[in-house]
A = this chain, B = another copy of it.
């Protein structure tokens, strides 16, 4: 490892020739490994353009202890969200006020109720989760003179928890491999603070996620319907998706296994109802016109990478999702698992005793360490306190108002909150949570995407992927874990002056932490 003092000027200044060589290596690597996005609207029958996904040119300094901590708590988070996903009453209580205000919550809850009426024919569920964190400077460090350490003392704070259609796993895997290659071939040896490839954690997201889906597939077992001779995993995807380089590698990995797992993809929408159907016993049969086998294929696992926007739930979307939910296939995830992704759930889990409802005291404590204060805007005590905070600009500094939907695009920051809320009918306030802002330390990097290349202060977000399979245990209202693992991690970096982390919108860049002992 480099002597710590050298980390102060990391990454090193590059000559034009060095930068040219580095970005050429990066672009070529990305083209060869599918670290790409389709260029929107360029796809025609016979061809399509693509360009490299945004990446950080250097690995980003990150404290090893915080990285380990994030990985260490993931299996507890997995257990927590499996349990939440089986606790209908708890979920309803948490989102009761959200349902009338948020169309997606409303339609998902309706589908859940409709499916419940039919009774469940599958007591096993799957989850692919991603818990996102940022480093947080302690208040002391914020005010103190710059320390002599390479990195300041920080704590690990959760930004959000995603239980539905988690993306970025494949891109993160590819970019981690790229930084590994660039380190190995000496692209970063531009001064004498060269670093060892061992400081870059390995990334096996694609293999791990495929392995989790393969386990669910095996757990489903032989075809139950006499009409089908084989089973397969079905990916439900958005049509015309330009981000196929994140989904497809998991399909290829399933086909590439020593015991290949047949995997097909199907667009969300009318095709879903055209090409799948339920048998009397609710096996989900798949028979698209492009696979002219005489026998339909029985779907073992439905993996959803679509259906996360309210607008997808027109009557066809509603019927399609209901059919999946009612089916005997293992859902990744179930409707209740999907609802667990709302930020109202994240907020409800910060309430006193909430974690302890699901976890042991020590596990609850380990998770709570990663929490920042989150408040509802309702009329509970916590809600009234939050309403007080956002009454004026002065007090709302240091908070973020977030809608309960996923993605960071609609957040409102600090002083802008009171004005924004004044424009929203109070009946709609339950859509939002108020979250204490995380103050991450700055780091330096060069970020490169189709939008440009720029060096400067950056902040990073570490996502930890979890993969689990569980069986509902009605006797105690909980769940029996069949599989619980840390599947890997994602690492996104953005310029410090940008609020959004979205990679597909061009703000965030995939990268790799360079772990250092501070």
Contacts and interface: CB of A to CB of B under 8 A. Distances in A.
Contacts of A18: 289-290, 292
Contacts of A43: 27
Contacts of A21: 288, 290
Residue among A27, A39, A263, A450 with the highest chain B CB neighbour number at 10 A: A27
Contacts of A28: 244, 248
A245 interface: yes
Interface string A13-51: 001011011110001110111101011000101111111
A232 B184 CA distance: 13
Interface residues of A, number: 57
Contacts of A291: 186-187, 189
B46 A448 contact: yes
B452 A46 contact: yes
A252 interface: yes
A255 interface: yes
A61 to B, nearest CB: 20
A32 B248 contact: yes
A453 interface: yes
A190 interface: yes
Interface string A426-448: 00000000000000000000001
A185 interface: yes
Nearest to A448: B46
A36 to B, nearest CB: 6
B32 A32 contact: no
Given A190-B292, A191-B292, A449 B47 contact: yes
Interface in A241-273: 244-245, 248-249, 252, 255, 260, 262-264
A264 B293 CA distance: 49
A245 B31 contact: yes
A31 B49 CA distance: 9
B186 A46 contact: no
Given A49-B51, A185-B262, A32 B449 contact: no
A148 B182 CA distance: 57
B48 A52 contact: yes
A181 interface: yes
A295 to B, nearest CB: 11
A22 to B, nearest CB: 7
Nearest to A263: B185
A249 B33 CA distance: 9
A255 B450 contact: no
